[in-house]
Amino acid sequence: MSQVNTVLGPVPAASLGVVAPHEVLVSVLPGAQYAYDIRMDRAEIFHAVADKLTAFRAAGGGAVVDAGGMFAGRDVPLYEALSSATGVHIIASTGQMDEAMLGGYFLTPQTNPPTPWPAEKFAKLYADEVTEGMVVPRVERRAAAGLISTAVTASGMTPTDESQLRGCARAAKQTRVPLSFRAGADPLAELAVALDEGLAAERIAVSNAGDAAKPIADQGAFVVFADLDAAVQFARGGYADKTLVTTGGAAVAFGHEVASASYAELLRLVPADLTEQLLIRNPAALLAVREP
């Protein structure tokens, strides 16, 4: 029986039920945690997210995937408490977003010259988050990450983006959790980078695929749609088994404008005849820890 890594430990993929497969629970633009005028009240954050999860559960939802990566608001102990309190499985992700979202540690390390991180170092950082557990920075490791999530710079893949994407793909192959990436200017070329690391297309989900959705799905990868109409059209066009949907928002966000996500609404808006495929089978197939 294949398992999925949740913040409360592995569960059978079949037990997830209805999944919002590509969301962000807490979104913090890196640095906003130090802003003098941004108040982050943990109790308020908890209740705001819990309300959305509870509504999702009441509507028949079973799991939410936090695909924000490890450096944009992910808070593993908070997610654990949210999952326990609401009964909704939470699958959290490792990885980081595009180059502009990285801290200087990865870009201008204290070496001479300050060379950005190579793929191998990203691979180890992220694989360790699966095999040893996700970090609470400088405190401890907790449960295994269930997804490796990254992004490519919108205007085009930078050398650091490529290193990171390769590292993520390598870590996904090694740890058998899936890879998700937000495509940049050339989704097919970017997918080719991940495939080049020997990761099977079936283990990859691509968001922001644009016109490349079909060729990406033809290769076997999943396509994540923030536009529900486009997702439905894609699914009905013969790609139902490669279609994933997202609200494109976050439960709560700090430091930047992000649409407020409603997982219950997502479930309500997916046509009934597609619910089983898009929100149950596809997420389970992607999230199950299995041979790459």
* Beta carbon of residue 171, minimum distance to other proteins (angstroms, whole number): 14
- List helix spans (H) across 206-281: 213-218, 228-234, 263-269, 272-275
Residue whose CB is less far from other proteins, 102 or 177:
102
- Which distant-in-sequence residues (6+ apart) come within 8 Å of 290 by Cβ? 2, 176
Looking at the DSSP bridge assignments, the partners of residue 136 are: 140
* Beta carbon of residue 139, minimum distance to other proteins (angstroms, whole number): 8
Residue whose CB is less far from other proteins, 34 or 291:
34
Residue whose CB is less far from other proteins, 15 or 153:
153
Residues found near other proteins in the complex (CB under 8 A)? 29-32, 34-37, 39, 70-71, 100-112, 114, 125, 128, 135, 137-138, 141, 255-256
Rounded to an integer, what distance in angstroms lies between the CA atom of residue 188 and that of residue 185? 9
Residue count of the chain, please give it.
Answer: 292
* Beta carbon of residue 36, minimum distance to other proteins (angstroms, whole number): 4
Place of tokens 């219950």: 264
Rounded to an integer, what distance in angstroms lies between the CA atom of residue 288 and that of residue 47? 29
Residue whose CB is less far from other proteins, 160 or 262:
160
Looking at the DSSP bridge assignments, the partners of residue 141 are: 135
Rounded to an integer, what distance in angstroms lies between the CA atom of residue 255 and that of residue 39? 10
* Beta carbon of residue 142, minimum distance to other proteins (angstroms, whole number): 13
Residue whose CB is less far from other proteins, 109 or 215:
109
* Beta carbon of residue 96, minimum distance to other proteins (angstroms, whole number): 8
Place of tokens 């650091």: 160
